[in-house]
Structure 1
Amino acid sequence: MTDTDQRVTTTTDTDGSPAPGPGAWAVLLPPGRYDAERLVHHDALELTGLGQAVLPRPGDRVAVLADAPPRLVALGRVSPATGDRQDAPEDPESEPGPVELVVTYTRRSFDAPVPVDGLALAGPVTALEDAAWRELADRLGPPPRRRSWLVSLDLPIEAASPAEAVGLFWSYVQELGPRELPAFVSPSGDELAMQAFVLGEAANQDPEEDD
């Protein structure tokens, strides 16, 4: 039995709820996974191929990190792992195989990662002391205020009928995804502030402005 098997914490999470899990952990995203998690909203992170003898248990708190340079991108809690990882078109580098670890996100900050210095990681999954996890969680600060946005995707499609056009539309969306298709977003009630986003970043779609 390891020391992490016996660890018990009575601290609270950032949402004020009790922390019933026996430990806290840092989880490092695999190479290429940061973009996939940032481009498409997922409620949970599924990881395979960890190859570690000791893994977090359901209820444990997790700080999710991206590497090179180390950045804090999310907080979460461990959920039971069942089944195999599903194919994700937006994540072509994902490993097939049984899911070993599932982290349900409680706070996401993929678009505004927080630099992390001086944290020693022992692999894809590293046990943390409660104080170390708390320090990481505090770096994110309070969650930003949520508001309503209008998001659209316009594609010119040649088809013999409206139904066929819609079917082709969804085929293109699945095939090209957020890595190639521009999505247009604006605050509700302020359509003049519309911006195009590609690869999760604002992208100019007016060729005349490039001249």
Structure 2
Amino acid sequence: MTTETAHWAGEAGSADGTGTWALLLPTERYEAERLVHHDTLELTGLAEVSLPGPGDRVAVLADTPPRLVALGRVTAPTRRHREDPDDPQSPVAPGTLVVAYTRRAFDEPVPADRLTLDGPLTALDPAAFRSLADRLGPPPARRTWLVSLDLPIEAGTPAEAVRLFWSYVQELGPRELPAFVSPSGDELAMQAFVLGAEANQDPEEDD
């Protein structure tokens, strides 16, 4: 077995006392995670597969083609059962997996096509996990960005315009509204983003 081959071994391989896993995101969930920032990834409906334990390390993958989009660690679910939200002792829905992100690479995923996956969750050899994680390299340096959203709104008062603004934002969201982003202090470098990707908003450039 190569260092980049996933395998089932009854239990996940361990490194530094934790298991190592590959988690394959459904396409719709990948798009949702790419559009909006989340601190954790919560998936349900995994009752038919063996789940990682708290502290296990997870490589989060997108499919077609397989690529690494994030790293994380498994945490204990804290959300209450949907059918009894007022009972703090009610059980969490079975098959729930919560992963706290430790590194995101949704904007620049790395290929993972040499992994052999078996369903939504696959136990990884620790060496395979390390090899995959090392491909990400160091995280990009953080800097300050100015992000804006401009909407022409007809209203009778400024307060009503603000209320309508937030209503439109909630209704349309990042799938339909363009957001404008530029480095702080360099507004001339402003770019428009739609669906999480840079988009041309100048109709003259399309001619």
What TM-score range do you get, normalising by the shorter chain? 0.7 to 0.9
Report the AA paired with residue 71 of structure 1: R
Aligned to 1:137: 133
Compare relative contact order (CA 8 Å, sep 6+) and give the higher one, 1 or 2: 2
Report deviation, 1:84: 5.9
Report deviation, 1:98: 6.2
Mapping of residues 1-211 of structure 1, within 5 Å: 3-4=10-11, 8-10=14-16, 20-21=17-18, 23-83=19-79, 100-211=96-207
Cα deviation, 1:30-55, whole Å, max 9, x if unaligned, reads: 12111111111111111011233410
Unaligned runs of 5+ in 1: 11-19, 87-96
Secondary structure in structure 2 of the residue aligned to 1:165: helix
| Aligned equivalents of 2:118, 2:47: Cα separation in 1 | 13
CA distance change for structure 1 residues 117 and 49 in 2, over 3 Å: closer, same or farther? same
Cα deviation, 1:145-189, whole Å, max 9, x if unaligned, reads: 111110000101111111111111111111111111000000011
Secondary structure in structure 2 of the residue aligned to 1:137: helix
Aligned to 1:91: none
Query: Under a length normalisation based on structure 2, what TM-score does the superposition of the two structures give?
Result: 0.85
The aligned length equals 189
Secondary structure in structure 2 of the residue aligned to 1:147: coil
Cα deviation, 1:46-87, whole Å, max 9, x if unaligned, reads: 10112334100110000000001100000000011132699x
Secondary structure in structure 2 of the residue aligned to 1:119: coil
Report deviation, 1:208: 2.1
CA distance change for structure 1 residues 139 and 115 in 2, over 3 Å: closer, same or farther? same
What's the % identity of the aligned pairs?
A: 73
Secondary structure in structure 2 of the residue aligned to 1:192: helix
Query: Under a length normalisation based on structure 1, what TM-score does the superposition of the two structures give?
Result: 0.84
**Are the equivalent residues in 2 in contact too, given 1:85–1:98 (CA < 8 A)?**
no
Report deviation, 1:123: 0.7
| Aligned equivalents of 1:175, 1:60: Cα separation in 2 | 37
